[in-house]
Each structure stands twice: as structure tokens, then as C-alpha cells.
Structure 1
Amino acid sequence: MASIKAKTKVEKVLLMLSIFGIVAMFVYVMLIWSKLPETIPRHFNFKGEPDGFGGKGFILVLPFVGLGLFILTTLLSQIPNAFNYPDDVTEEQKQRLYVHGRICLSWLQTQIIYFLLYGVWQTAQVALGKANGLGIYALPIFLFMVLGTIIYFAVRGKRL
């Protein structure tokens, strides 16, 4: 696979949404930093209730995790041979599977970044006394979205 195909419109939109999500996390943290108490939630249980606390600097972990994930997945999507292809596919099929894999990775990247953005926002809300936790549905919804995306693209990839 010598050439790297140009990004699709979907990839471009998801890239912009991911960048916006990362910027939003950092801007939000900067805006609320002075209002945060010295101790904030740093972990939530499966019910979405805070069960671990730490210094307010912990709120920076999620934006940096999002930034690291963004950099890693963006770089990975530029390496066609980083994707796993069946042995019996043609070069044309590899190209289609590569674009398919990039789109899947873009969707997952965006979903995870927005879950982290929700985590930053909700952590601040709990720390400020405006909420009790993440909510009982946050984790199941996130897992349903991510697993649904993986299953969809796996089934679609088989058809390609």
C-alpha cells in the first residue's frame, strides 16, 4: 500500500469535533480552576458515585489523557501497515479496509474524547456541590456507544 488516501468528509468532521472537545476540556478547566475546592473527586464507582478524592490538579488528568489519545490515534491512522488485514485480500481491498479502519478509529477517538469532556464537566459539578456524581447511566451509555461502534465496523469490515 504505497499511497495514503485523503481523509473522507466524515473523518474531517470527526477530527474537528475531537479538536473542539479537547480545547473545550482545557478551556473549561481554566475557567473553573479558581472556583474548585482543594479536594475533588478523582474516581467514581459503577453507580457513578464519587469514591476517591484527591487534589484539584487531578482534573487536569482527563484533558491530558484526551490529548494523548488524540495524538496517538491521529498518528496511528496515518500508518496503513499498522492495521491488521487478512492475508487473502487484494491491494484494492486493503485500501478500502484502511479507509474503513481510519473512519472507525475516528469515531472511537471522538466518542472517547467527549466522554472525557463529560467527565471533566461532571467532576467539576460534583466538586462544586452542583451534582452528586456522574449518574448511573453515564458508563452504560458510553460502553454501549463504543461497543456498538466496534461491532458495526467489524461487521461492515467483514463485508468489505
Structure 2
Amino acid sequence: MNIKEKTKLEKVLFTMSILGLAGMFIYVMLIWSELPETIPRHFNFKGEADGFGGKGFILVLPFTGLGIFILTTLLSQIPDAFNYPYHVTEEQKQRLYVHGRICLSWLQTQMIYFFLYGVWRTAQVAFGKADGLGIYALPIFLVVVFGTMIYFAVRGKRVYKEEQRTR
């Protein structure tokens, strides 16, 4: 197994992340001249706008998404950066590293698309076409992200146990 080679799924998620980032920046460029000078910059737990600022705040999410993309992409290139809660052999470490990279790829893509939704919805509120993010936006995001982490933690434990049995 060549641990440096990306899986097909990782390549698809990477492409989706790039498209999501590009979509955010392109959308902001397209609406920039139409944005009012004051836009929502913060939303409460109910998804209602409760903080306002200059239209430059719309750039926070695309640049945060870009930062997350860069950091997670770099982190996924460093096998020794992954920490396992149990002692693993080199062979197990290689399988768990690929497993961890896939998890990071999913999380990266999920965050970028949540930010894309946030940029779009912020603009809709600024234009007076929406009242807020929506009451379900944050709970859905949290369930998706924590669900992904739990799924991969459980799956990682299974990968570890399978390796233990085959030795």
C-alpha cells in the first residue's frame, strides 16, 4: 500500500472543496457591487442576524475556508501528525493514516460547503431576501461534523481491531 497516493474518494472530495472555495470567491465577486454597506456579520443560535458590520465582512468566510483548506491539506500530508489512542504497528499506522486522511477530507469539504451556504445566506439577508441563516443550519452542521468524527473514530477502532486479528 502506497500511503502517499490519494484514494479516489480523497480526489473527489479535494475537487469538491476546490469548487466550493471557488464558488464562494466567485459569488462574492459577482455580488460585491450590489451589497449594501452594512451586512450581517454574526448570527445567533436561532440563525437570526444579531451583529452587523461593513460589507467587507462577507470575505471572512471565504478566507477562513481557504485557511482551513490549506491547513487540512498540509496536515494530511504529514503521517506523523496523526495521533492514535492506542499502540499501533507500522502496518496498522499506514492503514489508519489513510483512514485519517479520508476523515480530514470529509471534514474539510463539509466545512467549506457550510461556509459557502453562510456566504450565500448572509448575502440573502443583506439583500432583504431572507431573515437569517435558518433555525436548522447550525444543528445540521453540528450533527454532520460530529457524526463524521464519530463515524471515523468507530471505523478507525474497527480497522485497528481487524489488523490485530490478522496478525
TM-score normalized with structure 2 length = 0.92
The code of the aligned residue for 1:132 comes to D
Structure 2 equivalent of residue 149 of structure 1: 148
C-alpha distance after superposition, 1:101-156 (max 9, x if no partner): 00000000000000000000000000000100000000000000001000000000
Alpha-carbon shift at residue 89 of structure 1 (Å): 1.4
What is the total number of aligned residue pairs between the two structures? 158
Please name the residue that 2:164 is paired with. none
Which residue number in structure 1 is paired with residue 40 of structure 2? 41
What's the C-alpha RMSD, in Å, of the aligned pairs? 0.9
- List gaps (5 residues or longer) in structure 2: 160-167
Q: Which amino acid aligns with 2:117?
A: Y
1:5-40 per-position Cα deviation (integer Å, ceiling 9, x unaligned): 300011000000000000000000000001100000
Please state if 1:62 is matched with 2:38.
Answer: no
What CA distance in whole angstroms lies between the structure 1 residues aligned with 2:104 and 2:65?
Answer: 14
Deviation at 1:88, TM superposition (A): 2.6
Tell me how far apart the structure 2 counterparts of residues 86 and 125 of structure 1 sit (CA, whole Å): 44
Name the CA distance, whole Å, in 2 between partners of 1:125 and 1:157: 40
Q: 1:34-79 deviations in whole A, cap 9, x for unaligned?
A: 1100000000000000000000000001000000000000000000
Trace 1:11-160 onto structure 2 (pairs within 5 A).
11-86=10-85, 88-160=87-159
Rounded to whole Å, the distance in 2 between the matches of 1:86 and 1:148 is 19
- Partners of 2:87 and 2:133 in 1: CA distance: 46
CA contact (8 A) 1:4 1:78 kept: no
Determine the C-alpha separation between the residues in 1 that align with 2:46 and 2:156. 34
Segments of 5+ residues of structure 1 without an aligned counterpart are none
Query: Could you tell me which amino acid in structure 2 is paired with residue 108 of structure 1?
Result: L
AA aligned opposite 2:93: K
1:10 matches 2:9: yes
Write out the 4+ residue segments of structure 1 that deviate beyond 4 Å after TM superposition: none
Q: Which amino acid aligns with 1:81?
A: D
The residue type equivalent to 2:35 in the other structure is L
Q: Distance in 2 between the 1:67 and 1:24 partners?
A: 12
Counterpart Cα distance in 2 of 1:58 and 1:89: 45
